[in-house]
């Protein structure tokens, strides 16, 4: 079913559409939330609260072309709001996470490609991602895990389209350098 149809049904009170929203997006929301904060309980609470708020306010919600983008933005705002409320009592568990490499689940095509990678190459990729800035890791996650378009990422991060493209280009260039050094070392020993 198309996003606009599901969204319209949900806004009209369909419990089936609401359940479909949750089923289709909860796993992605959780993965993204864990990338924002390290506290799993906080992320689960925020996702629960987000869906409860959506149900309570369904009649007043705006239209959307992308439910995924809408929910990702809403979750990020909710998490940041909770963090700012708890700022005075904040401990290490509530700090923003820079971990965009753990718990990443790849698409079917990516899994086929990664099956061909050696563990050394996978480790090199993780090291390369760890060397990226927080914004670069977030863009990589949103593009390849959440499968958002550049326009959606720009909207999500409140930056312009060209900045997203430039940041992605620099990220990929940096990751390519990591792989070139690995391949040079590999061929050197052959």
In order of their start, the domains of the chain are 3-94 (1.10.1740.10), 108-188 (1.10.10.10)
Which two three-digit tokens encode residue 23?
Answer: 């089923």
What's residue 49's pLDDT? Answer: 96
Q: pLDDT digit string (tens) for 13-41? A: 999 999 999 999 999 999 999 988 889 99
Tell me what the mean pLDDT of segment 143-172 comes to: 92
Q: What is the mean pLDDT of the chain?
A: 81
Determine phi and psi for 75, rounding to 5 degrees: -65, -45
Task: Collapse the DSSP code of 96 into the 3-class scheme (helix H, G, I; strand E, B; otherwise coil) and give the result.
Answer: strand
Confidence label for 110 from pLDDT (cuts 50, 70 and 90): low
Whether 10 has a pLDDT exceeding 90, the answer reads yes
Which two three-digit tokens encode residue 167?
Answer: 């940041």
Can you tell me which residue has the tokens 């924002």? 36
Task: Collapse the DSSP code of 91 into the 3-class scheme (helix H, G, I; strand E, B; otherwise coil) and give the result.
Answer: coil
Determine phi and psi for 37, rounding to 5 degrees: -135, 155
What's residue 53's pLDDT? Answer: 95
Question: How far out from the chain centre does Cα 163 lie?
Answer: 18
Whether 99 has a pLDDT exceeding 70, the answer reads no
């Amino acid at each position: 079913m198309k996003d606009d149809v599901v969204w319209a049904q949900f806004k009209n009170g369909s419990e089936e559409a609401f359940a479909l929203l949750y089923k289709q997006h909860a796993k992605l929301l959780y993965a993204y939330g864990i990338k924002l904060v390290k506290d799993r309980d906080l992320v689960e609470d925020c996702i629960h609260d987000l869906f409860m708020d959506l149900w309570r306010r369904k009649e007043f919600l705006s239209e959307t072309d992308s439910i995924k983008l809408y929910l990702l933005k809403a979750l990020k705002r909710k998490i940041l709001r909770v963090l700012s409320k708890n700022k005075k009592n904040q401990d290490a568990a509530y700090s923003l996470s820079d971990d965009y490499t753990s718990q990443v689940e790849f698409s079917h095509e990516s899994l086929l490609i990664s099956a061909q990678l050696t563990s050394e190459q996978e480790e090199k990729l993780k090291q390369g991602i760890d060397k990226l800035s927080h914004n670069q890791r977030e863009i990589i996650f949103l593009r390849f895990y959440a499968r958002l378009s550049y326009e959606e990422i720009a909207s999500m991060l409140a930056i312009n389209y060209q900045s997203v493209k430039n940041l992605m280009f620099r990220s990929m260039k940096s990751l390519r350098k990591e792989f070139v050094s690995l391949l040079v070392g590999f061929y050197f020993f052959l």
